[in-house]
Amino acid sequence: MTEPAIEIQPERARPFLQEVTERSGQILTACYQCKRCAAGCSVGDETGGFTPNLLIRAVVLGDRETALNNPLIWKCVSCYTCGTRCPNDIQTARITETLKKMAKEAGIEPLQPKVADFHDAFLHSGMRWGRVNEMAFMGMYEMKNALREVRESNYEAILEEIRTQAELGLSMFRLRRMHFGFLASKGRKEIKALYKKAKAKKAAPSAANI
Amino acid sequence: MEIGYYPGCSLKQSSALYDLQSRRIFAELGVQLTEIEDWNCCGATSAGKLDDFMAVAMPARNIGIAETQGFSEVVIPCSACYSRTLVAQKRLEASPLLRAEINENLSRKLNGGVRISSILEVLIDRISAGELKPKIRHKFRSLKPVCYYGCMQTRFPFDVPVPDDVENPQGMETVLKAVGVRAIDWGYKTACCGASAAVNDPETSFNLMAKIMKEAVARGANCFVTTCPMCQLNLDAHQEKFCQKHGIAERLPVFFITEILGATMGISPEALQVDRHFVDGTTLLKELEQDESKQAK
């Protein structure tokens, strides 16, 4: 069996590589595929063999589709083992984090929408009140989740999720690990102003971008 | 002695027992933890996944507050908050432009200078100062813990001088040794529990936790000790489920380091609120005390 040779068109590949390099702050071309990241990857067994080195290769070759739509960027738990062990200091978790953002901007439906919903609900709860209220943000997350399942008519998935969360919630309640008060920080005004700035920066990237 | 204290959101909610224990242990050691004023969420890993600027800006506000309040050191028990705050501090040091941009919006601006410490660093300092030894009331010789550090205590997404060995950290072992407890060496100290994946991708997270549990059991541990509220809650709250799924018969309590320290100082499990665990830890602590008094006779 022969597989078709990969056709690389450097002039097409380069802008994508450049964008990922700049936004993640990682020098992807320093990767020589030693696979130490793959060996250490916490979720390496969960991604169907799609390891951090392959993700870097996809970006370097300009394979935008694969890079923005693969199990690793959604399964990555940001444990930073890959980057700690990389002989060339490439922090692949920063790359998966960057590609998540790029996938969102490109309007690509996440392979694991629950992951995207979770982080969205968490950060926005933290920015809205200045502190994360676990019950409120979990409620927000479950709502987003349920709405999506309704759109896809996965009613069984909704029931299952309710069952699981209710069971956990009840145990947490019994163990007094649920908090019924409300946390807030006056500093949320400053946080909101900073977020406005972050959005403006995204619209007009400058040298101060990190 | 007074040091600044950043509890973070989880120590005010699901892990409030860790907050109570930390204040109590440090009070015993003569350290008063003073919460920094009006602190905000550090952004956790979510900020890094959604917005790089906010991942620095959110902890930056807290650092600015700690500095203007005049603290020379701030202790952050939660590993995620510790990691995010330390990384933000280093990034701001590396980029004066970014610092100026963030400072523009902060009422309490940051200049640099405050030391961001994990709970282990502060404890080790107190031990070196000889403040722990006189407080020890019990010796738990039959405690066989594995120290579980998880990800955020030693691995950072930015070049930060790590105060411990990245692959084989010793901070918790050092603290336990000071109270006469020898921790079991094992290979999953810095493995990942899956963190928030326990909520949004439980299958992955349960697979990771089962590996950690199997190794701890194989080494003969009778409990986990950790500093991270996320690791504690995950291994504790989901243990029944992932053990059933992976055919593991044993169950191990998951202690915060503050619970072991408190118990050896003679503080009762009730006062430490050990009864707020999913996997019972009170029985083991009481057994250890009984073993000790038997040995003494």
pLDDT range class, residue B293, cuts 50, 70, 90: confident
Please give the model's pTM, rounded to 2 decimal places.
0.94
Strands B115-118 and B73-76: parallel
Q: Which residues of B touch A179 (CB under 8 A)?
A: 12-14, 16
Residues B156, A112: C-beta atoms closer than 8 Å:
no
From the number of C-beta atoms within 10 Å of its C-beta (0-12, 13-18, 19+), residue B118 rates as: buried
* B105 → closest Cβ in A93, A126, A190: A190
Largest CA distance in chain A: 65
Q: Which residues, 6 or more positions from B34, have their beta carbon under 8 angstroms from its beta carbon? A: B2, B3, B4, B5, B71
- Which pair of structure tokens corresponds to residue A72? 């690793």
Summarised one tens digit per residue, pLDDT across range A36-48 is 999 999 999 999 9
pLDDT at A175: 97
Q: How far apart are CA B31 and CA B124, in angstroms?
A: 13
For residue A191, the chain B residue with the least C-alpha distance is B58
Give pLDDT tens digits for B153-197: 999 988 898 889 999 999 999 999 999 999 999 999 999 999 999
B51/A43 CB distance under 8 A: no
Task: Count Cα atoms within 13 angstroms, Cβ side, for B220.
Answer: 7
Q: What percent of chain B has pLDDT over 70?
A: 100
d(C-alpha A107, C-alpha A44), whole Å: 26
Across chain B, mean pLDDT equals 96
The shortest C-alpha distance from A138 to chain B (Å) reads 9
Residues of chain B with pLDDT > 90, as a percent, come to 92
Contacts of B61 in chain A (CB under 8 A): 187, 190-191, 194
pLDDT at A209 over 50: no
Instruction: Please indicate whether, in this complex, the C-beta atoms of A190 and B197 are within 8 angstroms of each other.
Output: no
User: Which helix (DSSP H) or strand (DSSP E) does residue A22 occupy?
Assistant: helix A10-24
Q: What is the pLDDT of residues B89-116, one digit of tens each?
A: 999 999 999 999 999 999 999 998 899 9
Whether residue A80 lies within 8 A of chain B, CB to CB, comes out as yes
CB contact under 8 A, B46 and A122: yes
Residue in A123, A127, A187 nearest the CB of B38: A187
Task: Say what the ipTM of the complex is.
Answer: 0.92
Q: Nearest CA to B189 among B238, B157, B224, B158? A: B224
The answer, for A100 touching chain B at a CB cutoff of 8 Å, is yes
Q: State how far the Cα of A58 lies from the Cα of B290, in Å rounded to an integer.
A: 60
Cβ contacts (< 8 Å) between A183 and chain B: which residues?
9, 12-13
pLDDT value at residue A4: 67
Residue B115's DSSP bridge partners are B73
Do residue A130 and residue B40 have CB atoms under 8 angstroms apart? Answer: yes
Which helix (H) or strand (E) segment holds residue B289: the answer is: helix B282-296
On chain A, the residues whose CB falls within 8 A of the CB of B51 are 101, 123, 195, 198
Q: Was domain B137-296 assigned CATH 3.10.50.30?
A: no
Which amino acid is it at B183? A
Per-residue pLDDT for A203 more than 80? no
- Average pLDDT (A166-173) is 95
Is the CB of B199 less than 8 angstroms away from the CB of A127? no
CATH class of B2-120: mainly alpha
pLDDT of A207 > 70? The answer is no
Residue-wise pLDDT for A137-163, tens only, equals: 999 999 999 999 999 999 999 999 999
Higher-pLDDT residue of A11 and B225 is: B225
Q: Where are the domains of chain B?
A: 2-120, 137-296
Q: Two tokens at A127?
A: 């920015």
Q: Are A182 and B13 in contact (CB under 8 A)?
A: no
Tokens (6 digits) for B159: 């070049």
Find residues 133-172 of chain A whose CB sits inside 8 Å of chain B.
133-134, 138, 141, 164, 168, 171-172
Q: Please, which pLDDT band fits residue B8 given cuts at 50, 70 and 90?
A: very high
Q: At what angle do helices B257-264 and B119-128 cross, to 10 degrees?
A: 30
Please check whether residue B102 touches A, CB under 8 A: yes
Q: Find the mean pLDDT for residues B18-26.
A: 98
> Residues near B294 by Cβ (< 8 Å), separated by ≥ 6?
none
* Residues in A touching B68 (Cβ below 8 Å): none
Token pair in block for residue B111: 């200049």
Whether A5 has a pLDDT exceeding 80, the answer reads no
CA distance A42 to A49: 12
The domains of chain A, with CATH numbers, are 10-109 (1.10.1060.10), 113-202 (no CATH)
CB-based contact A82:A73 (threshold 8 Å): no
Are B180 and B140 spatial neighbours (Cβ–Cβ below 8 Å)? Answer: yes
Residue A110 region by backbone torsions, left for phi larger than 0, else alpha for psi between -120 and 50, else beta: beta
Cβ contact B234:B209 at 8 Å: yes
CA distance B249 to B233: 20
pLDDT value at position A205? 56
pLDDT digits over B55-91, tens only? Answer: 999 999 999 999 999 999 999 999 999 999 999 999 9
